[in-house]
Amino acid sequence: MTGVNELTSYWAKTPVALVIGCGGMGTSIARALGRRQPLMMVDIDAARLIDTVEALRLDGHAVTGQCCDITDPEQMNRLGKALADAGGVRALAHVAAVGKSIGSWRRMMEIDLLGAVHVAETVTPHMVPGSAAVFISSLASYLPPADPKVDALLDEPLAPGFLDALAAYHGTEPDFDWAYNYAKLGVNRLAERMAREWQGREARSLSLSPGMIDSPMARAEGETLPAHDGTQARVTRADKAREIPLLREGSLLEITTVVEFLLSDAASFLNGIDVVVDGGHRAVWRAQGTISR
């Protein structure tokens, strides 16, 4: 009598698609990337990681999970060893980030910017020829002034006293909105920097800046957003969406589709740039003089 075979992913030993962050956007991206390559999911929340991995396996994906705090050097070393054992990284989607709910602008900066730097350093030795990385940023990255001083500061986030120097530049301890703006500008500059540092590796690095996206994280941050009118005023999400030429927020799928393209061979000559996916919101900000970048 012939036995019963379990479904086998025969490509499961090839280099992985590494997704940092198991939130709504990270899971959506993983489902897209997992159609063509094995996945490695990383998250600090063990319970969420287990649930995400099991859900992806139920979908039929080949997936492993690594519980990891991306701000902890020892845990990042363990992640590096896991990547070596997996045969390297074919695609990286760095999605992990926190908002004001974290309760400390310094901790926000450690996760949103320093964490991204630690991820870049960890994956660098494991990027295989033809690989690519996308660091998820934000349209908020365009809000800091076009100032070489802040650019230089954000280019060295691991320097001793970085957070104090950032507060000194800002003139006071930045609020959560400004901490997020600075962190995401730093992510854009990190992606551009990695494109240069990976010269000769046949690996690409990009950032992607979503505008207003209807996501679990966005909903958790509340129903108001900064007015960006030079005051401390806040407006509803619906009013903010009316600034967008398309008159609506974007969806997770609209971000996922672009990430999937950027990490594919179809985008093989895109490197070292930020890709804005915002329905035209940045164009409005530029016309209004809200931003100088």
Q: Which of 208, 287, 217 is nearest to 254 (CA)?
A: 208
- Per-residue pLDDT for the chain (293 aa), expressed as one digit of tens each? 467 766 655 556 679 999 999 999 999 999 999 999 999 999 999 999 999 999 999 999 999 999 999 999 999 999 999 999 999 999 999 999 998 888 899 999 999 999 999 999 999 999 999 999 999 999 999 999 999 999 999 999 999 999 999 999 999 999 999 999 999 999 999 999 999 999 999 999 999 999 999 988 788 777 888 888 888 899 999 999 999 999 999 999 999 999 999 999 999 999 999 999 999 999 999 999 999 99
Query: 250 with 277: CB under 8 angstroms?
Result: yes
Q: Tell me how far apart the alpha carbons of residues 223 and 242 are, in angstroms, rounded to a whole number.
A: 14
The H or E element that residue 230 is part of is none
- Residue holding tokens 């016309």? 287
Predicted pLDDT of residue 9: 54
Strands (E), the chain: 16-20, 39-43, 63-67, 89-94, 127-136, 204-210, 213-214, 224-226, 234-236, 250-251, 274-277
User: What was the pLDDT predicted at 14?
Assistant: 78
Q: Which stretches of 208-249 are DSSP H helices? A: 216-220, 237-241
Residue 8 has a pLDDT of 56
> Superfamily for 16-146+175-218+250-278?
NAD(P)-binding Rossmann-like Domain (3.40.50.720)
The full set of domain ranges for the chain reads: 16-146+175-218+250-278
pLDDT at 73: 96
